[in-house]
Amino acid sequence: MLNSELLEILRTSIAAMSLWEVAAVVLALAYLLLAMREKISCWYAAFISTAIYLVLFWDVSLLMESALQVFYLGMAIFGWWQWRHHEDKNKDLRIHRWPLQTHLMVISGVFLLTLVFGYLLDNFTSAALPYLDSFTTLGAVVTTYMVTRKVLENWIYWIVVDGASIYLYLDRGLYLTALLFLLYVVLVVIGFFQWKSIYNKQNQPGLTSLTGRQASAALQ
């Protein structure tokens, strides 16, 4: 009985998928895999995927998620510029960590703004799941910035944001996107340990005097 229900859910999910959602998912996955390897081409995939999701989320009344995609478009350009600028100028943009105090301030700010935006959406718009929508959006804003600056803990933030997003997308019928974010949760754990390994090696005595680009080359 359970197997039959799961198969029916799978059939419904496939039938509900659009080619645009498939394209957005593939490109979003490509972005994550490339980011894990610190490849600047990740930002190209991010930009195109984001443009598609901007339309998809608007169509299913996820207003904050739609607004988030506008931010993502800008951050894809900013991230590309940040990574390219440091490569061209041979400057040091290495994987690094934020102090605990910074994390506490950021997390407190996200929760406070979630309450504010959630209240406004709940009372003045027709947005679906306003508080959860606000939380995933604001969390993603902070975490995306952390990626552009190569902050190690971005992967831990993504685990929470992506995990919450799974329920959000299932509720809105974006089944393939929900599946993508389930895969994201697995990949971001891998990404964290991969970046942590690079971070640890970059801080070895023999590599501390190298620039980020030189250190990455030395580790390959």
Residue 212 reports pLDDT greater than 90: no
What confidence tens digit (pLDDT) does each residue in 68-80 have? 789 889 999 999 9
31 and 181 in contact (C-beta within 8 Å)?
no
Compute the average pLDDT of residues 50-72. 84
Quickly count helices (H) and strands (E) in the chain: 9, 0
Per-residue pLDDT, 127: 80
Compute the average pLDDT of residues 117-135. 89
Per-residue pLDDT, 158: 94
Per-residue pLDDT, 12: 59
| Residue 51 Cα distances to 33, 96, 211, angstroms | 19, 30, 34
C-alpha–C-alpha distance, residues 191 and 85, integer Å: 23
What confidence tens digit (pLDDT) does each residue in 2-48 have? 456 645 655 655 555 578 888 888 898 899 889 888 888 999 999 99
| Residue 165 Cα distances to 37, 84, 105, angstroms | 24, 30, 22
- Per the prediction, the chain carries an average pLDDT of 83
Per-residue pLDDT, 51: 92
Per-residue pLDDT, 136: 92
What confidence tens digit (pLDDT) does each residue in 154-163 have? 999 999 999 9
Per-residue pLDDT, 218: 43
pLDDT band at 86 (very low <50, low <70, confident <90, very high): low
**Surface-to-core class of residue 113, CB atoms within 10 Å of its CB (0-12 exposed, 13-18 middle, 19+ buried):** middle
Compute the average pLDDT of residues 194-214. 73
What confidence tens digit (pLDDT) does each residue in 131-149 have? 998 999 899 889 989 998 8
More confident: 184 or 107 = 107
Per-residue pLDDT, 4: 65
Helix axes 130-148, 100-124, angle to 10 degrees: 140
The DSSP line for 187-199 is HHHHHHHHHHHHH
- For the chain, what are the domain ranges? 2-89+97-204
